[in-house]
Amino acid sequence: MLLTRRTEWPAWGWASPFAELERMRRQMELLSGGLSRGLLEASSAGVFPLMNVTEDKDNYYVRAELPGFKAAELDISVTGDSLSIAGERKLPVEDEKAQYHRRERESGQFSRIITLPAHVDTGRVDARCADGLLTVVLPKAEAAKPKQITVKTS
């Protein structure tokens, strides 16, 4: 059996075996940077309210930033394990001859649906809106609450 050694392996014609890895790393950085910029730009403006969802042992809490909204302008509904918040942001009409230097506030309809980790007791949901912050308290259904199990000894 005759063995030959190829001196170009594993570089396959590249200047260094690590040159291709470096090129791929730069391309991945460009790709991930473009993706994150696109996501940040999309979430920084628009009519969608920003939301936080938290929980304790008995309830889920959804807090949404809705400055300038009145409670009657919101449509909130709960079904099983999902919460839907919808409304319309209306801005005062600017002078038609106005030239914008920056436009970040948008008007229009929005609808957000949040899927919760478990079912909620829809009969006891409470929603309050104060100082531009909507707080929705969603009590967990009894089947979703953790049960303490005692271990019996014989």
* Domain shared by 134 and 77, yes or no: yes
* Domain shared by 18 and 59, yes or no: no
Total number of domains constituting the chain: 2
* Domain shared by 112 and 134, yes or no: yes
pLDDT at residue 40, rounded to an integer = 47
How many Å apart are CA 45 and CA 25, to the nearest integer?
31
* Domain shared by 25 and 77, yes or no: no
How many Å apart are CA 9 and CA 20, to the nearest integer?
13
How many Å apart are CA 11 and CA 23, to the nearest integer?
14
* Domain shared by 41 and 51, yes or no: no
Please give the chain's pLDDT, 154 residues, in tens: 555 555 555 545 556 767 888 888 888 888 877 665 554 444 444 567 889 999 998 999 999 999 888 888 899 999 989 999 999 888 888 888 888 888 777 788 888 899 999 999 999 999 999 998 999 999 999 876 777 888 888 7
* Domain shared by 116 and 75, yes or no: yes
Would you say 65 and 87 are in contact if contact means Cβ atoms under 8 Å apart?
Answer: no
Is 98 within the bounds of a domain? no
Enclosing domain of residue 33? 13-45
Neighbours of 135 (CB within 10 A): 14
Is 97 within the bounds of a domain? no
How many Å apart are CA 4 and CA 24, to the nearest integer?
31
pLDDT at residue 142, rounded to an integer = 83
Which backbone phi and psi does 141 adopt, to 5 degrees? -70, 150
Is 38 within the bounds of a domain? yes
